[in-house]
Structure 1
Amino acid sequence: MENSRRHFVLSLIAYAALRDVPATQLCRLSGIDLAALKADAGYAVSNQQLDMLWREASQLSGDPLFGLHFGESLQLSALGIVGDIIRTSDTVGMAVEKAASLSHLLTDLFRIAVESSGNVFIIRFLPQTGRPDTFSFRQTLELFMVFVVHEMDGLLLRKIKPVAVRLPYRLENAEEYTRVFRCTAEKSTAEYALIFDREYQQEPLLTANYDIQQTLLRKVNEGITVTGGELGEKIRHYLLTNAYLGIPSLNEIAANFNVSPRTLQRKLKDEGISYQDVADEVRKSLAIHYLEEGGYPVKEISYMLGYNELSAFTRAFKRWTGRTPLSFQKN
């Protein structure tokens, strides 16, 4: 198995760069050699360095919920393990259990257990440390929990809402947790858990065409480095690399970048564009790519791009190209 922790650290640094955190400064303060990390596949990041990386990323970005928001943007492909999971899983439940069994590659702070009970299946995060109240533990835990929720979107090609989210501490920004998890988080005695309707567990994987997914990611990620850039380009990269989750709303993307929707729109306006311009450009690029690859039905592409109705996608695609998606695909 490839160095998954290295993939994880690189993804964290790249996400911090999207949030205007200088990668070189972040790594220097965390005691990490950025050049060696990028060049050497065997470079090891210690637990202490990872803890410092969390703290500095949160502080430099001004976001105390950095882990929660990073979880929204992270996907299995960034960890280098998506192929193993998808190639050996037929159902969503199998994929979740496989991912849980590999969690030790990224953290030893907790282990993940999956169980069924009545009409639900439960994903528990079980602390493996004597200090589960540390900053690093909470950031890592929240990242994994929201990551699971959003990764299930990619497996099922629709937005999934948990039955319940349970955390054993008081939330200072409860509204943001509700937005990210799509349900109100319950305060439990000592339980870290996600609860889903059991019907999802047996559903077949809809994104099992791993080669096409990887082709898209390679094309998208060519030339992307952990340096900053204009806001419009940062958002464009974010939308492309998270395309399997659909295109988020202005409010959702603003929350992920830790700014208000009004501020985001103002900054984009200064660059001569709007969020709608960027979102439509990404939708168009992805639609054309998926149709040219020929591996997805038009209806499935519509869902992947965030359209609830095929007719809405058809109208948009015709506006972009002058042709319907079906006629484009056939030719």
Structure 2
Amino acid sequence: MTSRTITVHHVRATLTGPRRLGLDTVPLLQSARIPPLLLGDAHARVSPEQFARLVTAVRQATRDEFLGLGPEPSRPGTFAMMCHASIGCPDLGTALRRATRFYGLFPGGPDLAVERTGFDAAFAVRTDLRALAEAPFAAECLVLVWHRVASWLIGRRIPLRWAEFAHPAPPYAGEYGLLFGCPVRCGAPRTRAGFDPRWLAAPVVRDEAGLAELLRRAPAGLLSRREYGTTVAEQVRHALARALREAAPQRRTARLPEVAQLAARLAVSPATLRRRLQEEGTSYRRLRDQVLREAAVAGLAEGREPIAELAARLGFSEDTAFHRAFRRWTGTTPGAYRLLGRTGSRAGANGAGNADRERGQQS
């Protein structure tokens, strides 16, 4: 898998709600196959699959679609009914207005709105989240889900022009460029994300069958950024990730396309490609590192491929080069990262075995 990995800060934030409710978080981590010791490493990352399992486990344990982060729980099924109410609308603007009215029916629910500001429209969170535990994570989740659902309703990714948050910049603020794909400002008076208002007239194209698939993956699927191929950076990432996927089954060395090859595929010059990536706040090298990092973390966390073979498949000529790169990406070595994963898996298996034995003794 080459999906984008998740910073450990978001793993810690996801566990805030269960801790506040007095729940034991170790079984939640173990069910997600996330080693509890990983939480002590600020540079650590987990795969999207691990994070999705954790979010699902926390949602089930708290019986709260807001994962225990809000002042009041959101009962399971609330989000689904909001979506059912929205897919019958003729256009996005109508659907979003209906969605905001729906959540306004619930005491303690988020106060959401679609606003006009200058030449932009904006997804707005009117609730002051700063008093909540893990306020940055709660605000990010609301904006992300708001944006993802809107894009899903019309079947196209809505490019964000800007985003601003009322909370101060968190330690992982460097992730914001990837999460939102636009300039982000923290410490603003309010939490909002701006976009072209013409998207509000776009027709809603989703139906009941599509909604069933969305709900199957929610909420974790909405918190990871889906690439629609609408930006140059996304097209470059897709080409790099595809090269890795094609190499994986045979475990042969991946040959990632260089700038000149990518430029030819996009029918532009290499200089134009570099300029467009720069305008989107990234570069070929940064995108290449991101794709390799995601593949390395996923390979170590989910698979049993020997580290030397994984390094070779990702295109590293020497193990030492892979070790240096992985330490730069995550702050630890490939061997240490995999060892933590195996330790966590054994702990999870032992915990499950102990629980089975206890149930047997009680019966």
Q: What's the TM-score, normalizing by structure 2?
A: 0.43
Q: Which has the higher contact order (CA 8 A, sep 6+)?
A: 2
Q: What's the TM-score, normalizing by structure 1?
A: 0.46
Q: Which has the larger radius of gyration?
A: 2
